[in-house]
């Protein structure tokens, strides 16, 4: 049976990185919904992220998105983050919201457009140097909408050339995380549509290039935990973008659509050493909270990952391996189901109390008065949003 003390120790080492854009206004392609008290500056986003970390204890990093989080002095922003007891995490690039990128960015047929996109990516590495960030996270909207629109192989060549230029710029302690998405906004071909394409590009680049698995970027029925297991086996899983989907890239709160899937993914992570520090897997959220309150939604997402992690750590691996070795199908499945059906909320509540935190992070935040404070104080200025 799993050692509860060991489970608690593993939970204490868990780190979830929250996205700066998760604290701003967001919505669908039809409407962005504004809320009172939303941050107006990157510093106010860090203020809100600090609340998530205070009440969960496991969310010390905040991802930035450029140009949404552009500031004059990134070193000063990193220093401010430390004052708020958080730190800056991955730097996310944006090569999809400029008119020049209508036909692609790093895969565009025009070398001038490709050069513009690469210069932006190099700027992001400069920002990493200033903030101390380790990860450059890349997602490209590049693709085509019609057969014959462009040459599929040529676009892969352009992608490889652009990535290689940026890869050479990375420092010794920096890495490139390449995300994939099977469709949208390109509907005929997408230039990085799946984990295999990302993996192939990363393999050619070198050990500092790894794959990001966004849990919302898969076709219905995709066995995401299988992908995770293979990437871990090859040492190429750089990180996660956690969210949930019902149909496409919904960016809903992680664990809200299929909590059992989240458990299965984290079971593979736990079983294959993905929680070990040397594996260096980044556990990030990538969510847009369209209709729900921002900070409580991020807190709930962090809690959902923590609960699924606790269940994954409770899997009796000895019993599982014994059942698998003897071909006992039902017993093997029962080991997983026993862990998944365990109510870990009392365990986590006690874990938080032992660390001087409120046993219920959502309730603790609601009682803190922070939401009322920011609604009263954040009046005027331009609210942060995802730029639609």
Q: Tokens representing 223?
A: 């066995």
Domains, in order of start, for the chain: 4-377 (3.20.20.150)
Would you tell me how many other CB atoms lie within 10 Å of the CB of residue 62?
28
Number of DSSP helices (H) and strands (E) in the chain, helices first: 14, 12
**What percent of the chain has pLDDT above 70?**
99
SS3 378: coil
Identify the burial level of 2 via C-beta atoms within 10 angstroms of its C-beta, where 0-12 means exposed, 13-18 middle and 19 or more buried: middle
pLDDT tens for residues 111-152? 999 999 999 999 999 999 999 999 999 999 999 999 999 999
Would you tell me how many other CB atoms lie within 10 Å of the CB of residue 88?
29
Q: 315-341 as b/e, with b when 16 or more CB fall inside 10 Å?
A: beeebbeebeeeeeeeebeebbeebbe
pLDDT tens for residues 292-342? 999 999 999 999 999 999 999 999 999 999 999 999 999 999 999 999 999
Give the span between the Cα atoms of 300 and 254, in whole angstroms.
Answer: 9
**pLDDT for the residue numbered 31:** 86
Q: Tokens representing 73?
A: 């002095």
Of the candidate ranges 50-54, 58-62, 253-257, 384-388, the one whose mean pLDDT is the lowest: 384-388
pLDDT tens for residues 3-21? 888 899 999 999 999 999 9
Give the span between the Cα atoms of 303 and 45, in whole angstroms.
Answer: 20
pLDDT tens for residues 170-219? 999 999 999 999 999 999 999 999 999 999 999 999 999 999 999 999 99
> Is residue 175 within a helix (H) or strand (E), and if so which, with residue range?
strand 175-179
- In the chain, the largest separation of any two C-alpha atoms, in whole Å, equals 66
> Is residue 242 within a helix (H) or strand (E), and if so which, with residue range?
strand 237-242
pLDDT tens for residues 148-179? 999 999 999 999 999 999 999 999 999 999 99
């Amino acid at each position: 049976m799993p050692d509860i003390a060991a489970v608690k120790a593993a939970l204490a080492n868990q780190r979830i990185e929250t996205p700066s854009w998760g604290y701003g206004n967001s919505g669908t392609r039809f409407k962005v919904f504004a809320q009172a008290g939303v941050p107006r500056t990157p510093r106010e986003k860090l203020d809100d992220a600090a609340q998530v970390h205070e009440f969960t204890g496991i969310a010390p990093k905040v991802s930035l998105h450029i140009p949404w989080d552009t500031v004059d002095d990134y070193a000063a922003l990193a220093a401010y983050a430390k004052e708020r007891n958080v730190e800056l995490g991955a730097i996310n690039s944006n090569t999809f919201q400029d008119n020049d990128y209508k036909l692609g960015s790093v895969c565009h047929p025009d070398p001038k457009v490709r050069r513009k996109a690469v210069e932006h990516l190099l700027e992001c590495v400069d920002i990493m140097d200033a903030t101390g960030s380790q990860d450059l996270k890349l997602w490209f909207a590049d693709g085509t909408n019609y057969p014959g629109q462009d040459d599929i192989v040529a676009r892969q060549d352009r992608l490889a050339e652009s990535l290689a230029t940026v890869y050479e710029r990375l420092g010794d302690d920096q890495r490139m995380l390449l995300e994939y998405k099977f469709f949208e906004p390109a509907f005929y071909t997408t230039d990085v549509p799946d984990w295999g394409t990302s993996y192939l590009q990363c393999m050619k680049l070198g050990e500092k290039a790894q794959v990001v698995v966004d849990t919302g970027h898969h076709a219905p029925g995709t066995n995401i935990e299988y992908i995770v297991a293979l990437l871990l086996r090859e040492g190429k899983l750089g990180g996660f973008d956690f969210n949930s989907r019902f149909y496409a890239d919904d960016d809903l709160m992680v664990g809200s659509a299929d909590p059992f899937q989240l458990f299965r993914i984290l079971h593979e992570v736990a079983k294959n050493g993905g929680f070990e520090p040397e594996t260096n897997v980044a556990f990030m959220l990538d969510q847009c909270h369209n209709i729900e309150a921002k900070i409580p939604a991020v807190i709930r997402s962090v809690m959902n990952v923590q609960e699924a992690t606790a269940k994954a750590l409770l899997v009796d691996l000895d019993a599982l391996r014994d059942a698998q070795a003897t071909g006992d199908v039902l017993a093997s499945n029962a080991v997983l189901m026993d862990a998944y059906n365990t109510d870990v909320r009392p365990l986590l509540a006690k874990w938080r109390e032992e660390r001087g935190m409120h046993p219920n992070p959502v309730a603790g935040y609601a009682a803190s008065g922070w939401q009322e404070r920011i609604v009263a104080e954040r009046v005027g200025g331009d609210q942060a949003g995802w730029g639609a």
